Amino acid sequence: MRVCETFASLQGESTHAGRKCFFIRLMGCNLNCSYCDTAYARTFEGGVERSVDSLVEEVISSGLSLAEITGGEPLCSPDTPVLCQKLLDAGIEVLVETNGSLPLDALPVQVRKIVDCKLPDSGMSSFICYDNFAKLQKHDEVKFVISSRRDFDFACDVIVKYALSERTPHLIASPVWGKVSFEELSSWVMDSPLPWRMQLQMHKIIWGDRRGV
């Protein structure tokens, strides 16, 4: 597997925000979002070639019980499902953060999937794999990264059309840094009848754009 970086930190997003977590960031992404904050992991070149077993050993050695596989786009790597299963077999709780453009089928059902739904201002909304929504488990999450009111309205329409609130209680509204104010998004969330949960990128509040923390 082409690995960009590994590190232990606080989980900054999702319903797991604030938990201690071991991160495995893989190289390579099939999309190019307008607001991408991990452009250094977009290319399929670079990084370090690592075996699945060496990554599992590193997670176990960290002493942490939660691991996230992210990117880039982790589902671009054919070994990601194998890594997930070996971590699960070792007693590690596993999160996979995916851009939502690729099928989830190969991931073990126990994996907690954090699935982006790309919105118009990302420039990538045409790549959404809507078939994924029917495969969500109650422990999975759908994340909507919001740049504008147009994005928020699009997200609301998706939630209603695909009955997402019946599939998972974890529907996350996340503001694009510098595009939507926290107060503005919070007002949209409060005014909506949908069961939104708003998040802030806690790691950015603490560390800014520093990597590996």
Residue holding tokens 């998972």? Answer: 168
Q: Which residues contact 23 (CB under 8 A, 6 or more apart)?
A: 5, 6, 7, 8, 9, 67, 68, 70
CA–CA gap between residue 149 and residue 191 (Å, rounded): 13
Between the CA of residue 104 and those of 23, 115, 183, what are the distances in Å? 20, 9, 33
Query: Taking the CA atoms of the chain, what radius of gyration do you get in angstroms?
Result: 16
Predicted confidence band of residue 25 (pLDDT cuts 50, 70, 90): very high
How many CA atoms lie within 13 Å of 35's alpha carbon, on the beta-carbon side?
18
pLDDT tens for 81-113 read 999 999 999 999 999 999 999 999 999 999 999
Q: Which residues contact 90 (CB under 8 A, 6 or more apart)?
A: 56, 59, 60
pLDDT reading at 212 higher than 80: no
Q: What's the average model confidence in pLDDT over 44-58?
A: 97
Between the CA of residue 58 and those of 7, 54, 63, 86, what are the distances in Å? 10, 6, 9, 12
Q: What's the average model confidence in pLDDT over 34-40?
A: 94
Q: How far apart are the first and last CA of the chain?
A: 22
Predicted confidence band of residue 213 (pLDDT cuts 50, 70, 90): low
Contact 155, 145 (CB under 8 A): no
The residue length of the chain stands at 213
Of 158, 162, 167, nearest to 140 (Cα)?
Answer: 167
pLDDT tens for 166-190 read 999 999 999 998 899 999 999 999 9
Instruction: Please tell me the CATH superfamily of domain 2-207, with its number.
Output: Aldolase class I (3.20.20.70)
Question: Where do the structural domains in the chain lie, given as residue ranges?
Answer: 2-207
Three-state DSSP state, 66: strand
Q: Which residues contact 125 (CB under 8 A, 6 or more apart)?
A: 118, 119, 154
- For all residues of the chain together, what is the average pLDDT? 96
